Homo-oligomer: A and B are copies of this chain.
Amino acid sequence: MSSYTITENEMEAIATGGAFLGTGGGGDPYIGKLMAQSAIAQHGSVKVIPPEDVPDDWLCVPVCMMGAPTVMVEKLPSGDEAGRALEQLEAFLGRKADALICIEAGGLNSTIPFAVAAATGLPLIDGDGMGRAFPELQMVSFTMQGVAATPMVITDEKGNSSVINAISNLWTERLARSQTVEMGGAALVALYPMSGAEVKKSILRNTLSLIFEIGSIITGERSENRNPAAALIERLNGKRLLTGRVVDIERKTEGGFARGQATLKGMDDDEGRTFKVNFQNEFLIALNDKDEALAVTPDLICALDADGGLPVTTEQLRYGLAITMMGLPCDAQWRTEAGIKLVGPGYFGYPQAYTPLEELPL
């Protein structure tokens, strides 16, 4: 891979692909796209560089939004506002950042770094810390590789901020989450400041290129009046989990998260069946009518509107909506013992053990 440039036009595919890999979480991508496009229109396009091109001694910083997606979309900042957390982290470290990182290649947080990159003129590294979206900040490859989440800056739109220094990335999550809740449910953060050497050791590679490709596939298939599910399953080695209509949806915003469960009645090939899908910001576990898991976190559970073929987020779920869900295998490191401990079903309180998607029934 080599460097390339993302302009306003390409943000369309980035946002669509990001919404897909958002696995239901991370907020409405339409708003994030507008935010990034506005920043690019004002400040110029964004340079995306491969991890291999990052010098070892660069300071590289993920910038993102933290909170319940339902609240995040209501408090969406401009690229300049989103850059404030970065500025304060730079002030604390006494050093300017050399490049930005996308913490999760999903949802709003796949578009916000483009807005900050446009506003600051900094390059964005082609990769992320999750290869998808996850609800908590310690759930990144950076944690797996020993990179500290702190010093971390958390800011709100009113002008409040904190610099957190914690003894572990899980403690960072706890302290930052309580600040996020106090700040109104969503906050802008800059965290995991790391060297270029650490980036090369820990980042999941080329995932920004991947979401651009996914977005392009979705757009291409839709322009041919095909639902993109089949093409995506083939490209991403996934499998179709279900096609169904939402008949019940429970949700609540608690502890700074959007938690809930959707019940779906099967359609088409799944006529007569019932499914349940649990989520905490993201889809985390899909169950069939025998309560057997069809797909379990950290494997990806992605939803497309069965009619329009666009990615569906958990907050878009509503009675009567027809969706196709597919499972995708997660990055290999999430399937290690340490990975399952960090992001597996047990962490989220589900009784199911993790079983790789490929070995599960339908």
Chain B minimum-CB-distance residue to A88: B165
| Candidates B88, B92, B166, B179; contact of A160 at CB < 8 Å | B166
Tell me if A161 is interfacial: C-beta within 8 Å of chain B. Answer: yes
Q: For residue A158, which residues in chain B have a CB less than 8 angstroms away from its CB?
A: 167, 171
A71 to B162, CA, bound (A): 24
Residues of B within 8 A of A161 (CB): 164-166
Which one, B92, B159, B165, B182, contacts A178 given CB within 8 A?
B182
Q: Say whether, besides A178-B178, A181-B178, A164 and B162 are in contact (CB < 8 Å).
A: yes
- Whether the pair A167, B171 counts as a contact (CB closer than 8 A) is no
Verify if A249 is at the interface (C-beta below 8 Å from B): no
For residue A167, which residue of chain B has the nearest CB?
A: B159
The count of residues in chain A whose C-beta lies closer than 8 Å to any C-beta of chain B is: 21
For chain A residues 295-326, which have a beta carbon within 8 Å of chain B?
A: none
Cross-chain contact A162 with B162 (CB below 8 angstroms): yes
Return chain B residues, CB-CB under 8 Å to A160.
Answer: 164-167, 171, 175
Q: Is A340 an interface residue (CB 8 A)?
A: no
Chain B residues within an 8 Å CB radius of A177: 182
Residue of B nearest to A159 (CB): B167
Enumerate chain B residues within 8 angstroms of A6, measured Cβ to Cβ.
none
Write the A235-265 contact mask toward B (1 if CB under 8 angstroms, else 0): 0000000000000000000000000000000
Give Cα A175 to B184, complex, Å.
Answer: 11
Name the residue in A158, A162, A181, A182 with the highest tally of chain B Cβ atoms < 10 Å from its Cβ.
Answer: A162
The verdict on A163 contacting chain B, using a C-beta distance below 8 Å, is yes
> Which chain A residues numbered 114 to 171 have a C-beta less than 8 Å away from chain B?
158-167, 171
Q: Whole-angstrom distance between the alpha carbons of A88 and B165 in the complex?
A: 10
* Minimal beta-carbon separation of A160 from chain B (angstroms): 5
B182-A175 in contact (CB<8A): yes
Digit string of A260-295 for contact with B (CB within 8 Å is 1, else 0)? 000000000000000000000000000000000000
A162 to B134, alpha carbons, bound, how many Å?
A: 24
A174: CB under 8 A from chain B? yes
A177 to B178, CA, bound (A): 10
| C-alpha spacing A171/B159, complex, angstroms | 10
Looking at the assembled complex, report how far the CB atom of A22 sits from the nearest CB atom of chain B, in whole angstroms: 27
Within 8 A of B (CB), among A175-192: 175, 177-179, 181-183
**How far is it, in angstroms, between the C-alpha of A283 and the C-alpha of B3 when the chains are bound?**
65
State A167–B187 Cα separation when bound (angstroms).
Answer: 15
Is the CB–CB distance between B175 and A179 below 8 Å? yes
CA distance A92 to B162 in the complex (A): 12
- For the complex, give the distance between the alpha carbons of A320 and B165 in Å: 46
- Excluding A162-B175, A163-B165, 9 further A-B contacts by CB distance (< 8 Å) are A158-B167, A160-B164, A160-B165, A160-B167, A162-B163, A178-B178, A178-B181, A178-B182, A179-B179
Complex A-B: 7 CB contacts under 8 Å: A92-B163, A158-B171, A160-B166, A162-B164, A174-B182, A178-B181, A179-B179
